[in-house]
Structure 1
Amino acid sequence: MNPLTYVAIAASSVLSAFAGSQFNEYWEFQKGDEATQWQHVTLPHTAHLEPYISNDMWMGECRYRKSFEFKPEWQGKRVALQFEGAMGIATVSLNGKELDKHIGGYIGFEVELTDHLQPGKNLLEVTLDNRENPDYPPGKSYRTLDFAWFSGIYRNVHLVVTDKLHISNAIAANQPAGGGIFVTYPEVSTESATIQIKTHVVNDHAENRTLQVDQSLWLDGQRLTGSRSDALTLAPESDQHVTQQLQLENPLLWSPQAPNLYTLKTQLLADDQSVVHEETQKIGVRTISYSADGFVLNGKNFFQRGTNRHQEFPYIGYAASDEAQYRDAVKIKEAGFDIVRISHYPQSPAFMRACDELGLMTINCITGWQFFKDGEFAKHSLQEGRDLIRRDRNHPSVVLWEISLNETHVPSEFLAQQHAIVDEEYPGDQSFSGSWKDGPHDVFLPARQHGKGPKFWDDWENNGKPAFTAEYGDWEYYAQAAANFNQHGSKELKKEESTSRQLRKHGEKRLLQQALNYQESHNQNLRGKSIIGDANWLMFDYNRGYANDHCSSGVMDLMRLPKFAYYFYRSQRPAHEASDRFSSGPMVFAATYWQTDSSPHVRVFSNCESVTAYLNGKKVATQTPDDDQFSTHLNHPPFTFDFGQFTPGELRFVGHIDGKPVAEHRVNTPGEPASLALQVDESGKPLVADGNDFVFVYASVVDAKGTVVPTANHTIRFDVQGGQVVGPSTVTAEAGTQGVLVRANPHAGSVRVTASAEGIVETATEIQTAK
C-alpha cells in the first residue's frame, strides 16, 4: 500500500469522532407563548405542527436548549457549531453569554464555541423569532406572500471539532471567491480534465504553524490522482489560500443521464506529517455554457426540461430529514425532469447532494418574491447571494444562479450588483446569473404570464441572450385571458374546470384538463430556438398562507400523490434512459378511471413508438402518437384511443419499441369498496429509525379485485406500533387514496402500520427500518 494512502485512511478513522458530527439529539424546546414545560425534541424540528391546509401559519418566539459535556479530547481544539437552517432571527448563547445573532432563515451559519466552553456541563441556548420582518428576505407580509416560511431549527446542526490549524467554513470566512474549499474546472474534455482546488487555511494557534495541503481524488475506494503543496508557515491568527491542480485522465463526466461523482479528499498535514484536519466531498466534472443557441453541457446541446419545487411537507413545514429530501429529488427525476428551479429560496444541503447523486440540474435561487426595500433588506439580500454561492458552488448540479428577487422591480443599480456578485464569487466562464427581469444577467428567466399570449416568448431576441421559461402552465390558465387559447371547447368550460389548479378529488375530467394545459404550454415552449429550457409551475402543491386551500397546480399534491399531469411529463423522458436509482425506462399510463362518467376517448401517456389497446381481452387498435396542434414539438406526444362508448371491464395498453412489447398499463372499472390497500413510499431510502426521519404511507380504498375506487371518500384511521403518525392519524380519502407521515421510534427494527375504515376490511403492513 502507498504510505500516503495509508495515512489518509488512518486519519479518516481518527477524525470521524471529531469533525462534522451531527448535533441533532437531546434538545429541549419551548414555544414562546407556552412558557411552561420543556419538551424533548430531535432536530430537524418545527416549532408548530401546521394543519394540512395552513392559512394561519404560527409565528412568534421559541427557544431551544441543549446541555452537553466538555470532552477531554476537545482540549486545545477549535470547537464550532454549524447550523444548516433556523427560521428566521437566531440568537445563540452559551452558558448565558450571547455569542451570535444570525438574520435569515434559509442559509446556514457557524458559531464558534472554542473560547466560551467550560469544564463539565455547558448549556447551549437558541432563541428563534420567525415573525414578519421587512428588514430581511422574504420581507413581504405573510398575508401577501405566495408561500409559507414556517418555523424552528428545521435543518441539521453539526458539531465541528478540529485542530486550531484548520480549513475555514466558506460562509463564516466571508471572502469573495474564497473561504473553505472552492473547486473549479479550468479545462474539461472527454480525454482529460484539470481540477483546481483553492483551500483556505487558518492558524488560530498562538505560535507559528507549518503545514502542507494534500489533495486526492477517489473513485470507488481507489485513489486516482493527488497533489501535495509545498510547506507553508502561517503566523498566529493568520490565514492563506492555497491553490492546487489535479490532472484527471479520461474523466467520467457528470450529466443528468450519467451523474458521475468523484470523492475529493482534502487534508491538512502538520510538519510531522500528521493529519490535523480533513474534509471530503463529492464533486462532478462537467462543463456548461449558455447562449441564444441553447444550453450546452459537456459539448452537447441540451434542452432543460424542468419544474419548480417548494420544500414544504405536510404538517412539519420545512423540518424534513435528509432522507426525505432525497426522496423528493427521486420523485422529481421519476417525473421526467432533468432540472429543478429551487423556488424561491435556498433549500436544504441534503436536497442539493441528492440532486448531484441523481443527475438533477438546479437553478439556485435567493429568497424573494415581489418585495424590495432599500437599506437593511437590500444588504441582507446581497449577502445571501454571496453566501448561497459559497455554500453550493462545488455542486455539479448547480448550472444557474438566480441571484435576483423573483418578480420584483428593483433599482437598476441593485440588479447590476446582484449580477456582479456571481462574477465576483465564482470567476471564470463556468458560472451564469439569471433574472426574471431583463438586464445585466446572463440568462433571462421570464414566466409565461410575463409575456403576452398566444405568442408569449416565441419571438424573444435580445443581443444573443438566452431565455429560460422559469414558470409556465399555471397563471396563464388561471387568471390570464390567454387561457386555453388553442383548445377546442375551452369556451364551454367553467373557470374552475379550465384552470391548471386541480386537486386529485376534482375528478378525471379536470385532471385531464390540467395535463392538457401543461402539454400545450410545454409544446409551445419547444418551438424554435427562443426558449432554451422550461420549468413548469410546479412539482408539489403547497400552502400559500393567505388562502383557505393549496396552490394546486402541482403535478403531485402536498402528500406527494401523482395527478395525471405527472405521467405526461414522465412520458417525455426517452425510453432508453434508465437508472437503478429511480423508476425510469419505457412506460405507459392511461389517464382514465374507466367508470360510467369517463370519456370514451382515452388519453395514454407513453414514451413508446406505438401502443396497442385491448378491451376485455379483445384488441381494439394499435396506434402511433397523436399528430395535433398540442404535439408538434413534443418528444413523445400522447396516444388517444376512441372506444366509441363506455363498456365496463378491463382496459389494457401495451407499449412497443422496435415491434417488441416493453411496457403495459391496466385499468379496471372500479366496483364497490371492499378493503384497504397500503403502500409505503421509500423512494430509494428506507425509513431510518432515528426518531426524526419519516415516510409517506398511503391507504387506498379498493374493490374486491384490488382496483382503487376513485369516488371513495372514507374516513381512514392509521394505527402505528414501533413509531408514530406525524400529524393527524385520521384522514379522509381523496380520489380513493390518502396518506400520513409515519416516523419510527429510535432504534426500532420495524414499524407496523394498520389502516381501518368503517364498513370495509382493514389492512396492515410492516416497514423494515434502517439504522
Structure 2
Amino acid sequence: MTIKSDVYTTGSSRRRFIQNCTIGVVALSSGSLLGCLAKHKATGQRGAASLTFSLDQNWLFGGKFTDAAFSPGFNDSAFKQVTLPHVVSDLSWQDWDEKKWQDVWIYRRHFTVPENLQGMRIFIKFDGVMVTASPSINGYALPVHLGGYLPFHYDITDHIKQGENVLAVKVDARWSSVPPEGSKNGKRAVVDYMEVGGMHRSVSLYAVPKLYVSDVFAKPADVLTANRRIVVNCTVDTAILPGKSVKLRVEMRDGNNVISQAERELYIAKTGQTELSLSLSGLQNITLWDIDNPKLYDIITTMLVEGQPLHNHKTRIGVRDASFKLDGFYLNGKRLQLFGLNRHEVYPYVGFAMPERVMRKDAEILKYDFNCNVVRCSHYPQNDAFLDACDELGLMVWEEVPGWQYIGDDAWKEILLQNTRDMVIRDRNRPSIIIWGTRVNESASVEELYSKTRAIAKLLDGSRPTSGSLTPDTRKDWQQNWHEDVFAYDDYHAEPDGGGGVGILPAIEGYPYFLAEAVGQYNYPTGKGFNSYYRRSGEAKIQQNQAIAHAQAHNKSAADPRNGGVTAWCAFEYSSLLNQYRAVKYPGVADVFRIPKLGASFYMSQGDSKKGAVIHPNFYWDFSQRSPTGPGKGAAIFSNCDELKLTIDGKEYTTVKPDTKNYAHLKHAPFFVDLEFTDQKPGELKIDGYIGGLKVCSRSFSPDHKQNQFSLVVDDKEILGDGSDATRVVFRITDKFGAPRPFTDGKVDFVVTGPGIIVGDNPFNLKESGGAAAIWIKAQPKTSGRITLQATHEVLGSKTITIDVNPTTPTTSI
C-alpha cells in the first residue's frame, strides 16, 4: 500500500475522493471522539491532515476465475503482478475479438493497515470495474456491483484485521443485463462500443473518524446578480452520538486566501446521515469560471467538536451561470455557440484502462488542437481525470448515463436509476458540466423511466438542465413524449438535392435546441467500402469530404439563432462491432491513436489567429497511384488567416480569399482552390498566410517520396515511476517538410531500455494505419531514471527519444 500525505494536486482524479474524506491527525490513534479531542489538545495540532491510501500498485492477476482463488488463504504466488488501470486481455489496435475478455477473472491484493488507524472507519473505493465486480475482504463477501463507469465503495471496518489483509475481486466481463448491455427475445442488443473487461480505474482505501463529513454539494446561486452566493449542502455521517457541541465551518478559498466563510451548529440526534445547509455570501468580486478563464476555488468544510477540528472535506468548484434558452446557449449571461465533438474513452491496446495523464491529454486535444468549447461524453460517465482536465481547461461537458438505444427489464432500469444517482453525486460540483443526459442515447421515449431519471437529477442537483438525444424515429412524436429541458437531436440527414451536402433541420419551436450529434456517418456509402469510410489509408477524396461535412454542419447550425450548437460525431475512432472494419469504426476526425486526420483540419483552423495563425490543407500533396491527379478541383484549405497565397515550384500559382458567402457563420471560413493536375505532376507547394496584408505563417509540401522522412514524437518528456503513468509516442511517415504522407507503409521495430515498457504492437506495420500510428510508454512501478526508445523503420532508418521517470513523492510503502 502507498500512503500519500497532504497531496492535493490539481487534476489528480486518483486522489480526488480521498481529499474529499480527509481525517484529522488527532483521530489516528483513538477510537473514541473524546480520545481524539484529548490528543488534539495535547499535540497542539490545528486543522486536519490529508491522507491518501492508493491501492493501484501490487495487484496480482490470476487470469480466469476459480472458486479457490477467492479464498484468503489461496496461494497466489503464481499470479502476475499488475498495476491499475488494467485490462484482462492482450489487445492490438484493431481486430479486437470480444471472446478474449468475455469471461470471469480474478484479482487479488495483499495489504496491511497501519496500526494508527485503529478505531477509525475504514472504507475501500473502486473508481470503476468493467462490468460486474464481486469483491471480498479476508473471505467476507461484499455486495456485488453492476456496471463499469461509476465509483462504488464499502465500509470494511469490521472485516479488517491486524497484519496482512487480502482483498479479492471477481470481475465478470461477460455480456449481461447491465446498462448499456442487455438482450431481447434471446438475442443480444447491439451496442456501438466495446466494453473490455478489467479493473480499468483506480482503487483506494480511506479511513475517517466515526463522525465525518461524507459529502458536500456547493451550488452557485443567483450568479449574475448582486445576491451571488454558494449554497453548501453538507452530509454528515456518524456511527456514534457525539454528546458534544458540533459545528460545521465552510470556507471558500482561493489558494490560502479565504474568500467567504460560514459556520453553523449541527444537531445530531441519530446515527447515520444528517444533512445541513450553509450559505457563502460576499462574492461580488470573485472571478467567474469561463471557457477562456476557468477559475477554480476550493470549498473546505470542517467539522469542529467543542471548537476543535476533527475532520474536513475538500472539493473544488467554479462559479458560473450556464443556461439553454430559446435563442441559444448562454454562459455567464453571454450567448455562446456550442462547438464541439463527441468523445469515446476507448483506446487502442488497453480499452478503457489508460492512466490519468493519457485521459487528460484527450481534453487538451479537444480544447487546444480542435478548438472545441464543449464535449459530449458519449455514451457513459467518463474518467475523473478527463473531467478534472475539462474543469481546469474551460472545456464544457455534456455528461450522460450509460446506454445505447436499448432499454432492458425492470432490474436493468433500477441499475440505470442508480447510475443516474451516482453520476450526479460524483460530478455535480464540476463547473464544466452544463447538462445531464438522463435518457439512454437514441432510445425510445419511455416516459415512466425517464421521469424518474429526470427527477433524480433535479433532486440531487437542480442547477442543470436535463436532456437526451433523439433520432428521426423518436422525433416524430416528440410533442407527446418530450419532457426534458433541452431538445437534443442527432441530425444525420443529407440535403434533399442529392448533392451530398449536410442537412440541418430547423430548431424545434418552444424548447431550447441543441444537436447532440451530426455528420459522423450520414453519408456512409451502402456498397463496397462502407465499413472503412474515413480511414486514413482509404480513398483520399472520401477523407476530404469529412472536414467539409463538419464545416457545413457547424455553419448551418450557427445560421439558426435558436440552435445552441453542435457536438459532432465524433472526435476519435473507436472499437465497435457495428458498421466497422476490422473491429474499428472510423467516423473520428482523429484516429484511434488521437492523431488528426484530414477531417480535423476544419477544427484545427477555428482558433483565434492572435494566439497563432495556422494553415491546414484538407488534402495530401501526394501524386502517387492513390491520387495521381492531386487534390482535385475545389480543394479546401482551412486557415484562420484572411488571405492565402500559393506558389508551386517557386512560381506564383494563385491568391485566394475565404468563402464567407457559403460559410458565413463560421469563425473562419474555408478557402477553395483548383489543384487538379492531369498533364504533369507539379513540384513543391508553398502556402503563405496573410492577415491585414502581413504574412503571418507559411507551410510547404513536397510530392517527392524519395525524400520521405520517419518522424518520432513523444507527448511528455517526464512521467512518474508509479507503474501506472504513461505517455504517447507518435510515429509516422512525412514528406521532407513534416507534412503527413498517408499512403505509405513499412514495418517499425521498437527497442526500449530503462525503467519502462511498451504498450502497443511491436513491430508495427504502417500500411493499415495510413502511415501514422502510436504506442504508449509506461513506467515500471517504484522506479526512476531514464527511458530510451529507439524506433526503426525498415526503409527510413531509426529515431530515438528519451523520457525521464521521476520517483513518486512523498510515499511510504507498507
Same fold (TM over 0.5): yes
Aligned counterpart, 2:240 = 205
Which residue of 216, 219, 227 maps to 1:181?
Answer: 216
Number of the residue aligned with 1:159: 205
1:657-672 residue pairs with structure 2 within 5 A? 657-672=691-706
2:506 aligns with one of 459, 481, 484? 459
Q: Is residue 2:616 matched to residue 1:589?
A: yes
Offset, 1:628: 5.4
The one of 757, 763, 782 aligned to 1:724: 757
The answer on whether the counterparts of 1:190 and 1:250 sit within 8 Å (CA) in structure 2 is no
Check 1:674–1:640 CA distance in 2 against 1; reply closer, same or farther (3 A cut): closer
Q: Does 1:695 align with 2:727?
A: yes
Deviation for aligned residue 1:143: 7.4
Please give the secondary structure, in 2, of the residue aligned with 1:506.
coil
Q: Which residue of 2 aligns with 1:338?
A: 373
With over 3 angstroms needed to count, the CA separation of the structure-2 counterparts of 1:508 and 1:687, relative to structure 1, is: farther
Aligned match of 2:655: 622
Counterpart for residue 752 of structure 1: 788
Which TM-score applies when normalising by structure 1?
Answer: 0.88
TM superposition shift of 1:14:
9.3
Question: 2:730–2:774: 8 Å Cα contact kept in structure 1?
Answer: yes
Cα deviation, 1:201-259, whole Å, max 9, x if unaligned, reads 1221364353222222222x331323242332424524322211222232211122221
Matched, 1:521 2:553: yes
Q: Work out whether residues 438 and 466 of structure 2, in 8 Å CA contact, stay in contact via their aligned partners in 1.
A: no
Who is 1:130 aligned against? 173
2:492 to 444, 449, 463: 449
Equivalent in 52, 72, 80 of residue 39 of structure 1: 80
- 1:304-453 alignment runs, 5 A limit: 304-333=338-367, 334-428=369-463, 430-436=464-470, 437=474, 438=478, 439-449=482-492
SS at match of 1:189: coil
The DSSP-based 3-state class of the residue aligned with 1:81 is strand
Please say if 1:273 is aligned against 2:316: no
Cα deviation, 1:337-378, whole Å, max 9, x if unaligned, reads: 111110111111111111111111111010111211231011
Deviation at 1:707, TM superposition (A): 5.9
Distance change >3 Å, CA 42–CA 17, structure 1 → 2:
farther
Q: 1:147: which partner in 2?
A: 193
Whether the aligned pair in 2 keeps the contact of 1:500 and 1:553 (CA below 8 Å) is: no
Cα 1:748/1:503, change in 2 over 3 Å: farther
Structure 1 letter corresponding to 2:180: P
CA distance in 1, matches of 2:533, 2:676: 30
Question: 3-state DSSP class of the match of 1:753?
Answer: strand
CA distance in 1, matches of 2:791, 2:402: 40
Query: How far did residue 17 of structure 1 move?
Result: 7.0
Matched, 1:599 2:631: yes
SS in 2 for 1:446: strand
AA in 2 matched with 1:592? F
**Which stretch of structure 1 is more off in the superposition, 587-596 or 323-332?**
587-596
* SS of corresponding position for 1:423: helix
- CA–CA separation in structure 2 for the residues paired with 1:450 and 1:134: 32
Moved over 6 A (4+): 8-17, 33-36
- Residue 665 of structure 2 is matched in structure 1 by 633
The question of whether the paired residues in 2 share the 8 Å contact of 1:68 and 1:122 is answered with yes
Q: Rate the CA distance shift 1:230–1:530 in 2: closer, same or farther, 3 A.
A: closer
Alignment pair present for 1:538 and 2:570: yes
| Contact preservation (8 Å) 1:216, 1:223 | no
Q: Which amino acid aligns with 1:749?
A: G
- Residue 252 (1) aligns with residue 268 (2): no
The alpha-carbon distance between structure 1 residues 643 and 116, as it changes in their structure 2 partners (threshold 3 A), is closer
Q: Aligned AA for 1:590?
A: P
Summarize the alignment of residues 434-513 of structure 1 with structure 2, pairs less than 5 Å apart.
Answer: 434-436=468-470, 437=474, 438=478, 439-449=482-492, 457-462=504-509, 464-478=510-524, 496=529, 501-513=533-545
Match of 1:25 in 2: 57
The offset of 1:103, in angstroms, is 1.2
Does the 8 A contact of 1:675 with 1:763 survive in 2? no
User: Number of matched residues?
Assistant: 725
Question: What is the rounded CA distance, in whole Å, between the counterparts of 2:188 and 2:698 in structure 1?
Answer: 46
Residue 565 (1) aligns with residue 599 (2): yes
**Cα deviation code 1:259-288 (max 9, x no counterpart):** 1111222222222413x2222222111002
Given the two structures, how large is their TM-score scaled by the length of structure 2? Answer: 0.84
* 1:417-474 Cα distance to aligned partner (Å, 9 max, x none): 232222222225x444344254100111111137995795533333x20221111112
1:490 corresponds to = none
CA distance in 2, matches of 1:33, 1:109: 22
Aligned residue runs from structure 1 range 9-24, under 5 A:
19-24=51-56
Residue 10 of structure 1 and its aligned partner are, at CA, apart by 12
- CA apart distance, 1:672: 1.7
The answer for unaligned runs of 5 or more in structure 1 is: 1-7, 169-179, 481-493, 579-584
Is residue 590–residue 667 contact of structure 1 (8 Å, CA) maintained in 2? no
Q: CA RMSD in A?
A: 2.8
Q: Partner of 1:471: helix, strand, or coil?
A: strand
Three-state SS of the structure 1 residue aligned to 2:596 is coil
Match of 2:35 in 1: none
Query: Percent same amino acid among aligned pairs?
Result: 30
Residue type of the alignment partner of 2:316:
K
Deviation at 1:677, TM superposition (A): 2.3
Q: Which runs of 5+ in 2 are unaligned?
A: 1-19, 26-44, 70-75, 808-814
Note closer, same or farther for the CA distance 1:30–1:677 as it changes in structure 2 (3 Å cut). Answer: same
Picking from 316, 321, 344, the partner of 1:282 is 316
Is the Cα–Cα contact under 8 Å of residues 458 and 531 in structure 1 kept in the other structure? Answer: no
Q: Which moved more, 1:329-338 or 1:24-33?
A: 24-33
Residue 111 of structure 2 corresponds to 68
1:295 is displaced (CA, Å) by: 0.7
| Counterpart secondary structure, 1:249 | coil
Deviations 1:167-223 (A, max 9, x none): 12xxxxxxxxxxx1111111213877311111111221364353222222222x331
Structural mapping, 1:43-58, within 5 Å = 43-57=84-98, 58=101
Whether contact under 8 Å (1:19, 1:159) holds in the other structure is: no
Assess, with a 3 A threshold, how the Cα gap between structure 1 residues 521 and 675 changes in structure 2: closer, same or farther. Answer: closer
Change (3 A) 1:708 1:644: closer
Contact 2:63 2:88 survives alignment (8 Å) = yes
Letter in 1 for 2:371: G
State how far apart, in whole Å, the 2-side matches of 1:760 and 1:114 are: 60
Q: What is the DSSP-based 3-state SS (H/G/I as helix, E as strand, rest coil) of the residue aligned with 1:476? A: coil
CA shift digits 1:390-420 (9 cap, x unpaired): 1111111111111101111143322322322
User: In the alignment, residue 698 of structure 1 is paired with which amino acid?
Assistant: V
Deviation at 1:634, TM superposition (A): 2.3
2-structure distance, mates of 1:543, 1:643: 35
Cα distance in 2 for residues equivalent to 1:283 and 1:254: 9
Structure 2 distance, partners of 1:142, 1:321, is 31
Pairwise CA distance, 1:590: 2.1
CA distance in 2 between partners of 1:539 and 1:318 (Å): 16
Q: 1:742 aligns with which of 763, 777, 780?
A: 777
Contact 1:525–1:534 (Cα < 8 Å) also in 2: yes
